[in-house]
C-alpha cells in the first residue's frame, strides 16, 4: 500500500489552543482523509512542543512545575483536536520517553559524524523567548521583537554548534530541483534567496536552561528546543517504518526551521529527506493580529459552539486560500456558514429528502453520475479539478467546486419541477438527483466527515426528512 505521512507543527504548551493552531490542523486532517479515500495508508502526526525557556517561564507564572503545566495544556490540545474530529495516528509530546531517547540518539549521531563541534563556542547574542530563537539587531524595531513587543535577552554563554554552513550548496540544489518541494512558489523563492545570502552555523544547546533534553555527549547542556522539537517527526516515522514525511505542513513563520535546518540535520546523519513542505499563510481577526493583550484570541471551542464541528472545519478552510494571508471576522464567518451550509448544502439535502419521502429510490452506484459528469466545464471534470485543487493545497477551490455541484443540482431540480410530477416520472427525476448527492457526498467526506456520514445514512434505503444539518444563525 502506498503511504502518505503528514505532520503539523507541534505546538508550544505555553498557552491554550487557539484557531491559529486549529487552522493547519484541520487542513492536515482534510488531506489525510483525502489520501485515505484514495486508498493510501495516510497518517497524520500531531502533538505538543514542551521544552525550553518559553514553557519554563509560563509554568513559573502559574506556580507550577514545567512538566505539570505541560501535562495540563497538552491535554487541552489533544481534546481540542478530538473535538474537531482530527484523525491523527499519534499525539506526540516532546516529553514522551521515546521522543527523549530518539532525540538523544539523533544528537549523538550528529556529534559522532562531526556535524556538531567537538567543543562549545562562546556565543553572545539577543534571544527572543517568544520565538525561542536568536534575533539579529536588524530584526528588532526600537530594540524590541516586533512580533512579541518584548526586549530580547542578552545571552552570553558557551553553546555547541551545528555546522549548518556545510550544507549550503546541497540544500540549494535539493530545493531548486524540488527534491525537497517547497510551496507555494513564493516561499520557495524566499528560502532560496536566504540560502544565497549565506547560512551561518547555529547554536544547538543551552548551558543555563534546565528544562530541556540533556545532550548525550555533554549533560551539562540541554538541547536547543527547536533542534529537539523537529526530531519529533522522525521519532514517529522511524519507529513505525514510516519515514520520510511526505508533507510537513507549517506556518510561514517557521518555514526556515523546516526547510533549512531540519533537512540539514537529516543530511548530516544520512537520513531520507521530507518530500514536501508547505507553508500556509497567517490570518488576522478583524484586521488585527490575534493577541491576548487585544483580547481577540478565538478558541476552537468558540467556533464549535457556534458553527458545530463540521461548520468550524468548513469556515476555517473556505474563507481564503490556504497559502495566503487572510482575515477572519465573526460577521464574515456567519455569512459563509449561512450561505453555504445552512442555505446551500443544508437546504438542498432537506429539499430532496422531502421530495423523496413517498417514493422508493434505488441505492445506485454514486460514482456513475450522469448529472454531474455530463456538465461541461472549461477545464475538465469537477472531480479531477477537485483532486488537483486538494493536491495543490487549495482547499477553498476544492470547496468551490463542490458548491458548484450543489448549484447544478439545485438548477436541475428547479428546471424539472419534481413537485409537479407523479409516479415514475417523479422517481426518474429524483433518482438522478439522489445519485448526484451521493456522488457529491464522496467529495464532502474529507472536509465534513460527520455531515457526510449523516447524508450517507439519510440517502440509503428509505429516504426520510431529518432535523436540519446546519441550523441558520
Question: Taking the complex as a whole, how short is the minimal distance between the CB of residue 115 and ligand ME8, in angstroms?
Answer: 19
Question: Taking the complex as a whole, how short is the minimal distance between the CB of residue 185 and ligand ME8, in angstroms?
Answer: 19
Judged by CB, which is closer to ligand ME8: 24, or 449? 24
Judged by CB, which is closer to ligand ME8: 229, or 406? 229
At 139, phi and psi to the nearest 5?
Answer: -75, -15
Question: Taking the complex as a whole, how short is the minimal distance between the CB of residue 55 and ligand ME8, in angstroms?
Answer: 10
Judged by CB, which is closer to ligand ME8: 324, or 381? 324
Judged by CB, which is closer to ligand ME8: 123, or 278? 278
Angle in degrees, CA 329, 17, 232, rounded to 5: 130
Question: Taking the complex as a whole, how short is the minimal distance between the CB of residue 233 and ligand ME8, in angstroms?
Answer: 7
Question: Taking the complex as a whole, how short is the minimal distance between the CB of residue 225 and ligand ME8, in angstroms?
Answer: 8
How far apart, in whole angstroms, are the C-alpha atoms of residue 407 and residue 389? 19
Longest dimension (CA), the chain: 87
At 369, phi and psi to the nearest 5?
Answer: -125, 115
Rg (CA), the chain: 25
Question: Taking the complex as a whole, how short is the minimal distance between the CB of residue 283 and ligand ME8, in angstroms?
Answer: 5
Q: Which residues bind ligand ME8 (CB under 6 A)?
A: 9-12, 20-21, 23-24, 49, 229-230, 250-251, 253-254, 282-283, 290
Judged by CB, which is closer to ligand ME8: 242, or 459? 242
Judged by CB, which is closer to ligand ME8: 20, or 120? 20
Question: Taking the complex as a whole, how short is the minimal distance between the CB of residue 260 and ligand ME8, in angstroms?
Answer: 13
Question: Taking the complex as a whole, how short is the minimal distance between the CB of residue 252 and ligand ME8, in angstroms?
Answer: 7
Q: Which residues pair with 280 in a beta bridge?
A: 251
Judged by CB, which is closer to ligand ME8: 22, or 432? 22
Judged by CB, which is closer to ligand ME8: 297, or 408? 297
Question: Taking the complex as a whole, how short is the minimal distance between the CB of residue 40 and ligand ME8, in angstroms?
Answer: 24
Judged by CB, which is closer to ligand ME8: 11, or 447? 11
Question: Taking the complex as a whole, how short is the minimal distance between the CB of residue 183 and ligand ME8, in angstroms?
Answer: 15
Q: Which residues pair with 155 in a beta bridge?
A: 125
Judged by CB, which is closer to ligand ME8: 131, or 443? 131
Judged by CB, which is closer to ligand ME8: 205, or 441? 205
Question: Taking the complex as a whole, how short is the minimal distance between the CB of residue 251 and ligand ME8, in angstroms?
Answer: 2
How far apart, in whole angstroms, are the C-alpha atoms of residue 439 and residue 369? 7
Q: Which residues pair with 141 in a beta bridge?
A: 144
Edge to edge, the sheet with strand 153-159 lists 133-135, 121-128, 153-159
Q: Which residues pair with 49 in a beta bridge?
A: 12
Question: Taking the complex as a whole, how short is the minimal distance between the CB of residue 180 and ligand ME8, in angstroms?
Answer: 16
How far apart, in whole angstroms, are the C-alpha atoms of residue 218 and residue 220? 5
Judged by CB, which is closer to ligand ME8: 283, or 314? 283
How far apart, in whole angstroms, are the C-alpha atoms of residue 31 and residue 52? 31
Amino acid at each position: 500500500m502506498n503511504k502518505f505521512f503528514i505532520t503539523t507543527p507541534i505546538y508550544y504548551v505555553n498557552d491554550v489552543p487557539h484557531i491559529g493552531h486549529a487552522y493547519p490542523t484541520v487542513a492536515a486532517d482534510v488531506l489525510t482523509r483525502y489520501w485515505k479515500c484514495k486508498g493510501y495508508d495516510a497518517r497524520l502526526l500531531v502533538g505538543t512542543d514542551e521544552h525550553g525557556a518559553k514553557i519554563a517561564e509560563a509554568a513559573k507564572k502559574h506556580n507550577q512545575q514545567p512538566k505539570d503545566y505541560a501535562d495540563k495544556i497538552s491535554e487541552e490540545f489533544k481534546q481540542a483536536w478530538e473535538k474537531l474530529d482530527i484523525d491523527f495516528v499519534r499525539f506526540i509530546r516532546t516529553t514522551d520517553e521515546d521522543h527523549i531517547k530518539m532525540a538523544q540518539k539523533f544528537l549523538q549521531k550528529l556529534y559522532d559524524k562531526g556535524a556538531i563541534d567537538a567543543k562549545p563556542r562562546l556565543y553572545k547574542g539577543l534571544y527572543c523567548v517568544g520565538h525561542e530563537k536568536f534575533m539579529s539587531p536588524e530584526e528588532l524595531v526600537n530594540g524590541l521583537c516586533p512580533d512579541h513587543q518584548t526586549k530580547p535577552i542578552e545571552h552570553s554563554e558557551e553553546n555547541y554548534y551545528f555546522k549548518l554552513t556545510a550544507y549550503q550548496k546541497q540544500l540549494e540544489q535539493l530545493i531548486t530541483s524540488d527534491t525537497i518541494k517547497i510551496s507555494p512558489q513564493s516561499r520557495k523563492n524566499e528560502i532560496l534567496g536566504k540560502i544565497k545570502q549565506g547560512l551561518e552555523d547555529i547554536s544547538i544547546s543551552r548551558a543555563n536552561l534546565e528544562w530541556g533534553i540533556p545532550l548525550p555527549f555533554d549533560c551539562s547542556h540541554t538541547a536547543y528546543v527547536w533542534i529537539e522539537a523537529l526530531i519529533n517527526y522522525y521519532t514517529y516515522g522511524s519507529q513505525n517504518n514510516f519515514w520520510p514525511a511526505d508533507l510537513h505542513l507549517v506556518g510561514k513563520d517557521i518555514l526556515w526551521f523546516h526547510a533549512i535546518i531540519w533537512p540539514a540535520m537529516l543530511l548530516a546523519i544520512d537520513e531520507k529527506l521530507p518530500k514536501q513542505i508547505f507553508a500556509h499563510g497567517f490570518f488576522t481577526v478583524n484586521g488585527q493580529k490575534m493577541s491576548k493583550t487585544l483580547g481577540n484570541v478565538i478558541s476552537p471551542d468558540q467556533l464549535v459552539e457556534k458553527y458545530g464541528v463540521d461548520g468550524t472545519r468548513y469556515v476555517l478552510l473556505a474563507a481564503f486560500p490556504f497559502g495566503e494571508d487572510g482575515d477572519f471576522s465573526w460577521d464574515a464567518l456567519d455569512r459563509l456558514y449561512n450561505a453555504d451550509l445552512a442555505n446551500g448544502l443544508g437546504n438542498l439535502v432537506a429539499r430532496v429528502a422531502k421530495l423523496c419521502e413517498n417514493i422508493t429510490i434505488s441505492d445506485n452506484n454514486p460514482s456513475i453520475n450522469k448529472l454531474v459528469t455530463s456538465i461541461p466545464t472549461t477545464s475538465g471534470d469537477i472531480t479531477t479539478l477537485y483532486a488537483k485543487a486538494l493536491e495543490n493545497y487549495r482547499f477553498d477551490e476544492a470547496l468551490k467546486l463542490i458548491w458548484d455541484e450543489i448549484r447544478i443540482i439545485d438548477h436541475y431540480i428547479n428546471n424539472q419541477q419534481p413537485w409537479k410530477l407523479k409516479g415514475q416520472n417523479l422517481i426518474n427525476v429524483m433518482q438522478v438527483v439522489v445519485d448526484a448527492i451521493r456522488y457529491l457526498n464522496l467529495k464532502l467526506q474529507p472536509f465534513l466527515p460527520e455531515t457526510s456520514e449523516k447524508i450517507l445514512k439519510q440517502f440509503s434505503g428509505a429516504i426520510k426528512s431529518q432535523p436540519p444539518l446546519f441550523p441558520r444563525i
